[in-house]
Amino acid sequence: MAKRILTLNQISVLGLERFPRDTYEIASEFAHPDAILLRSHKLQATDIPDTVLGIARAGAGVNNIPVDECTRRGIPVFNTPGANANAVKELVAAGLLLGSRGIIEGNDYVDTLAGMDDKAELNRTLEAQKKQFKGSELYGKRLGVVGLGAIGSLVAEMALTLGMEVMGYDPALSVDAAWRLPSEVRKADTLSALFSRCDYISLHLPVLDTTRNLINAELFGVMPRHACLLNFARQEIIDEAALVEALDKKQLRKYIADFPTPALIGRKDVILTPHIGASTDEAEDNCAVMAVEQLRDFLENGNIRNAVNFPTLQLERVGGCRLAVTNTNVPKILGSVLALLADQNINVIDMLNKSRDEVAYNLIDIDTTPPDELLQHMRQLDGVTSVRLIGDCS
Ligand SMILES: NC(=O)c1ccc[n+]([C@@H]2O[C@H](COP(=O)([O-])OP(=O)(O)OC[C@H]3O[C@@H](n4cnc5c(N)ncnc54)[C@H](O)[C@@H]3O)[C@@H](O)[C@H]2O)c1
Ligand SMILES: O=C(O)[C@H](O)COP(=O)(O)O
């Protein structure tokens, strides 16, 4: 039977074309989907039917998905790290330029001159008024980057090429991300040190319980008054009431962000875009292709790449059929699973098991198709969250 993929946002055709038409059905409405593919659609736990085996987010942030509930139900949630990083970096470059030069104000002013048909008079007026729109250069200024992952590291690199100094803060920096970082990036030991010493600050960290409202009144209090804050990460990272108060008190010069809210729209000291950080042809294609490839590998082989709640695990197929078993990460459960197979004289050809936090995941290749009763028995074992048979041994 064809696998059913429920799409909850518009996904690039280049990605969707990677699902073979004879083995997959794709639709934006399905009562019993095998998997969900989405972007920023806010997914409620109650919207995830019991038939769902995996969820793929074509993008970076997974704060629109009830990840804890998925983990509890044994559903891996995939994202596409880095696939839209260049798109965000380029928008941040635009944000830095808009924050340093009177581009928007100058354009708005020029629009007021529509109807002035005398070119000489127009020119005289422009030359007399342009001093209002003077800016300053990015060259030599200091950028603070909070979060030095896929996007933050590209932003740091881009700022260095503009001749800026770069300071970074990331208490959870991975070894791979540290290798990607240009050596010129200086480390800030605290957020406060970074906020107090930078002319521009750009946020590139996820929303987590630990980062919600992280940017608060205390940090606004130490910012230089000429500084600009750029937020192309998520609105929830900023304490909005504290931001509005800081803008009112002129504790920062400008706030440039991808997340409009009623309190921010229309302010002269705020520049807002409608969450378009990843909205380029290239990023949409990259994210969709990566999400689809990962989802297919999981549905067809049980392999896990770039899940935010499951361990990374890939086992080459050597024939036979495969069991994908998820259990809570405590001793003896795998032993019970293997004992059930042994009781039925089912031989294990190959096996891999890994754990991440409270989740353990196992791929077990076997030489005989197990009877349904055995699978049911396995699902009822204490601590087993899900059991899936992939392929057919006959
Ligand atoms: N505007 C957009 O359209 C858009 C597009 C892509 C991503 N995003 C947002 O940007 C975020 C980052 O994306 P990414 O691809 O760089 O992710 P990433 O996982 O590669 O990098 C995130 C980095 O943040 C760091 N971090 C975690 N907690 C931190 C903390 N308390 N302080 C400082 N750093 C911390 C992590 O260690 C990691 O290095 C996403 O989670 C998403 O919310 C927005
Ligand atoms: O986290 C992300 O990848 C971005 O916020 C992009 O969201 P989008 O896919 O809805 O544009």
Grouping H, G, I as helix, E, B as strand and the rest as coil, residue 354 is strand
| 277 Cβ inside 6 Å of ligand 2 | yes
Residues 92 and 228 both lie in one domain: yes
Residues 323 and 213 both lie in one domain: no
| Nearest alpha carbon to residue 97 among 41, 52, 62, 139 | 139
Query: Ligand 2, atom 6: nearest CA belongs to which residue?
Result: 278
Residues 159 and 253 both lie in one domain: yes
pLDDT of residue 303: 98
DSSP 168: E
Query: Ligand 2, atom 1: nearest CA belongs to which residue?
Result: 61
Residues 165 and 71 both lie in one domain: no
Instruction: Take residue 268 and report the two structure tokens written for it.
Output: 């002269």
Q: Which residues contact 349 (CB under 8 A, 6 or more apart)?
A: 318, 319, 320, 365, 366, 367
CA 125 vs CA 101, 102, 104, 131, 316: distances in Å: 20, 17, 18, 11, 71
| 221 Cβ inside 6 Å of ligand 1 | no
| 91 Cβ inside 6 Å of ligand 1 | no
Domain range for 358 is 312-393
pLDDT of residue 319: 80
Task: List, for residues 176-211, the tens digit of each pLDDT value.
Answer: 999 999 999 999 999 999 999 999 999 999 999 999
User: End of a domain among 292, 310, 328?
Assistant: 310
Residues 305 and 344 both lie in one domain: no
pLDDT of residue 10: 97
pLDDT of residue 334: 96
**Total structural domains in the chain?**
3
Number of Cβ within a 10 Å radius of residue 23: 12
pTM: 0.97
Q: How far is CA 349 from the centre of its chain?
A: 37
| 63 Cβ inside 6 Å of ligand 2 | no
Would 110 be classed as within a structural domain?
no
Residues 244 and 326 both lie in one domain: no
Would 255 be classed as within a structural domain?
yes
Residues 318 and 173 both lie in one domain: no
CA 114 vs CA 106, 123, 131, 133, 240: distances in Å: 13, 13, 20, 18, 37
Expressed in angstroms and rounded, the spacing between residue 263 Cα and the centre of ligand 2 is 22
Would 31 be classed as within a structural domain?
yes
Would 174 be classed as within a structural domain?
yes
Would 328 be classed as within a structural domain?
yes
Residues 178 and 264 both lie in one domain: yes
Would 131 be classed as within a structural domain?
no
Task: List, for residues 239-292, the tens digit of each pLDDT value.
Answer: 999 999 999 999 999 999 999 999 999 999 999 999 999 999 999 999 999 999
| 15 Cβ inside 6 Å of ligand 2 | no
State the CATH number of the domain containing residue 187: 3.40.50.720
Would 130 be classed as within a structural domain?
no
Would 128 be classed as within a structural domain?
no
User: End of a domain among 223, 245, 272?
Assistant: 272
Residues 343 and 289 both lie in one domain: no
Residues 191 and 48 both lie in one domain: no
Regions of the chain short of the pLDDT cut 50: none
Residues 93 and 167 both lie in one domain: yes
State the CATH number of the domain containing residue 352: 3.30.70.260
Give the side-chain half-sphere CA count within 13 A for 358: 11
Expressed in angstroms and rounded, the spacing between residue 85 Cα and the centre of ligand 1 is 10
Residues 266 and 324 both lie in one domain: no
Query: Ligand 2, atom 11: nearest CA belongs to which residue?
Result: 278
Report how many helices (DSSP H) and strands (DSSP E) the chain contains, helices first.
13, 16
Q: Which residues contact 230 (CB under 8 A, 6 or more apart)?
A: 92, 95, 96, 99, 200, 201, 202, 203, 256, 257
pLDDT of residue 267: 98
Question: How much of the chain exceeds pLDDT 70, in percent?
Answer: 100
